[in-house]
């Protein structure tokens, strides 16, 4: 299989169907970072409510979040779900940012990609998907963000097998597509769209824009008998 060709076809089909997605929905790099942490295990509508609460309370700055009590923070971000856990994660990140970069995202984002990713992954509560979201959408450095939708789409179209882990899936994109921030930005957003509306656990292939894209014979049989 020519993976570069298939990945390009997938992108072209999705873009033609859904159009530009204008991700990430944040006005500043700081808002993107907070959103990336809050969106773990929830949908964006709930994150927007939590961020609105923080803005209304006039604490939506690194310094104010550094100073606020963790329990008070948890109450404000309650709409995002798992609010006690997420309050702890936010405090871990903000405290780490002040300890190492004097609370400055711009200083953090001046790091080269490899060092930046290593640094973010060292923060308690920031995993690979969150770190890559911050790097791509806030720091604007080319790293591909992988989520459950990404793996599902690629497995069903025969680009990867089910045993691929996060890093292996990430490499498939980065080894076969130009390393460009706008492309990675749009591609990930488009995969989220097709995953939400068509490539669900129970497949809805008939109207999916990727219906005729390459699939293995095994995947075709799966599509005929969705689970």
Give the model confidence (pLDDT) of 107-158 as tens digits.
Answer: 999 999 999 999 999 999 999 999 999 999 999 999 999 999 999 999 999 9
Same domain? 51 vs 18? no
pTM given for the model: 0.91
Report the 3 state secondary structure along the chain.
Answer: CCHHHHHHHHHHHHHHHHCCCCCCCCCCHHHHHHHHHHCCCCCHHHHHHHHHHHHHCCCCCHHHHHHCCHHHHHHHCHHHCCHHHHHHHHHHHHHHHHHHHCCCHHHHHCCCHHHHHHHHHCCCCCCHHHHHHHHHHHCCCCCCCCCHHHHHHHHHCCCCCCCCCHHHHHHHHHHHCCCCHHHHHHHHHHHHHHHHHCCCCCCCCCCCCCCCCCCCHHHHHHHHCCC
- How high does pLDDT run on average in the chain? 93
pLDDT-above-70 percentage for the chain: 94
Q: What is the mean pLDDT of residues 42-65?
A: 96
Same domain? 69 vs 116? yes
Q: How many structural domains is the chain composed of?
A: 2
Q: Which of 32-36, 46-50, 120-124, 217-221 has the lowest mean pLDDT?
A: 217-221
User: Would you say residue 162 has pLDDT above 90?
Assistant: yes
Same domain? 17 vs 43? no
Domain that residue 115 falls in: 29-138
Q: What is the pLDDT of residue 219?
A: 45
94 C-beta neighbours (distance < 10 Å), count? 24
Asked whether 132 and 33 are in contact (CB, 8 A), the reply is no
- Domain CATH number, residue 10: 1.10.1670.10
Q: What is the pLDDT of residue 25?
A: 84
pLDDT tier, 26 (very low <50, low <70, confident <90, very high otherwise): confident
Same domain? 126 vs 43? yes
Same domain? 110 vs 151? no
Same domain? 133 vs 188? no
Q: 18 in helix, strand or coil?
A: helix
């Amino acid at each position: 299989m020519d993976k570069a060709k298939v990945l390009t076809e997938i992108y072209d089909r999705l873009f033609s169907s859904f159009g530009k997605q204008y991700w990430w929905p944040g006005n500043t790099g700081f808002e993107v970072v907070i959103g990336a942490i809050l969106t773990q295990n929830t949908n964006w509508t709930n994150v927007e409510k939590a961020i609105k609460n923080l803005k209304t309370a006039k604490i939506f700055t690194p310094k104010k979040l550094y100073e606020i009590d963790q329990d008070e923070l948890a109450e404000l971000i309650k709409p995002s779900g798992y609010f006690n856990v997420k309050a702890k994660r936010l405090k871990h990140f903000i405290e780490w940012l002040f300890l190492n970069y004097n609370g400055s995202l711009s200083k953090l984002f001046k790091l080269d990609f490899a060092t930046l990713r290593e640094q973010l992954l060292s923060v308690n509560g920031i995993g690979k998907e969150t770190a890559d979201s911050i790097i791509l959408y806030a720091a604007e450095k080319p790293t591909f963000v992988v989520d459950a939708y990404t793996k599902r789409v690629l497995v069903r179209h025969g680009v990867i097998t089910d045993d691929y882990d996060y890093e292996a899936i990430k490499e498939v994109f980065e080894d076969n597509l130009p390393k460009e921030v706008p492309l990675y930005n749009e591609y990930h957003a488009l995969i989220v769209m097709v995953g939400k509306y068509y490539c669900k656990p129970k497949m809805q292939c008939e109207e999916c824009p990727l219906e005729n894209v390459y699939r293995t014979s095994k995947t075709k049989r799966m599509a005929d008998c969705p689970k």
